[in-house]
Amino acid sequence: MAPRILLARHGQTAWSRSGRHTGLTDLPLLDEGRADAGLLGGRLAAEPFAGLPQVEVRTSPLVRARETAELAGFGERATPWDALVEWRYGEYEGLTPDEIHARQPGWLVWRDGAPGGESTQEVSDRADEVVAWARSADRDVLLFAHGHILRALGARWLGLPIAFGARIRLAPASLSVLGWSYGEPALESWNDTGHLAG
C-alpha cells in the first residue's frame, strides 16, 4: 500500500478564533477546541479509520497540537517533531491580517514570508522534509499540527509551490487525507469537518 498522510489541524484557540497569526506562541485550546478534538478522535476511531492501529503518529511540539492529539486518543503514540511547528511569523506574530496590512499593504504570507520570521523557502523546505519522511516507508502517518504548515504540506505533497496553500483553507479540528490517484499524489479529502457539532 502506498503511504498516505492524514492531517489533523489543532482545535480552536483564542487567537485562531480572532484571526491572529499564531506561530510559536504556545496557546492552549479553548473549551470548544477541546470538545472538537474529542470529536475528531471519535471520527478516527470509527470506520473507515478504525482507530488507525498501524499508523505512525507525529505532532507539533506546541501545546495546542499536542493537546489535540491527546484528546483525540493518540497522545501516547505521538512523537513530537519540530518540523511540524507553525510558520514562524516573526514581527507579525499575534497580529491580525488587518493589522499586518496597515503596516504592509497587500502582504500575503504565501508570497512574502514573514519579516523576522520564516521565508516561503524555509517553510517549503520543512514541508518537503515531512513529505519525504512520510513516503519513506509503506505505512500511513497521522500528523497533528497547524493551519499554515499543513496547507504547505498539502501543496508540497502535490508537487506544487507552497503558494498553492493560499487556496486550500483548513478549519480548526479538521481532517484531511493526502493520498494517491493513478499513481500520482492527490488530495483524497480536504478540510473535512463532518465530525464537528453544529
Confirm whether 99 is a catalytic residue: no
> 107: part of which helix (H) or strand (E)?
none
86 annotated to bind ligand: yes
75 annotated ligand binder: no
Q: List the catalytic residue out of 21, 47, 70, 86.
A: 86
Q: Residue type at 55?
A: V
3-class DSSP assignment, residue 59: strand
Counting every residue written for the chain, the total comes to 198
Angle in degrees, 0-180, between the axes of helices 31-45 and 63-71, rounded to the nearest 10:
50
Task: Tell me the three state secondary structure of residue 41.
Answer: helix
Say whether 92 counts as a known binding-site residue.
no
Query: Is position 79 annotated in a ligand binding site?
Result: no
Catalytic status, residue 10: yes
**Cα(133)–Cα(151) distance, integer angstroms:** 17
Q: How many other β-carbons are positioned within 10 Å of the β-carbon of residue 28?
A: 12
64 assigned ligand-binding residue: yes
87 belongs to an annotated ligand binding site: yes
Q: Is residue 169 part of an annotated ligand binding site?
A: no
Q: Strand 5-9 to strand 175-181: parallel, antiparallel, or no bridges (unpaired)?
A: antiparallel
Query: Given the C-alpha cell 508570497, which residue does it identify?
Result: 111
Instruction: Report d(CA 33, CA 12) in Å as an integer.
Output: 4
- Annotated binding-site residues read 22-23, 64, 86-89
- Annotated binding-site residues for substrate read 22-23, 64, 86-89
Supply the residues annotated as catalytic.
Answer: 10, 86
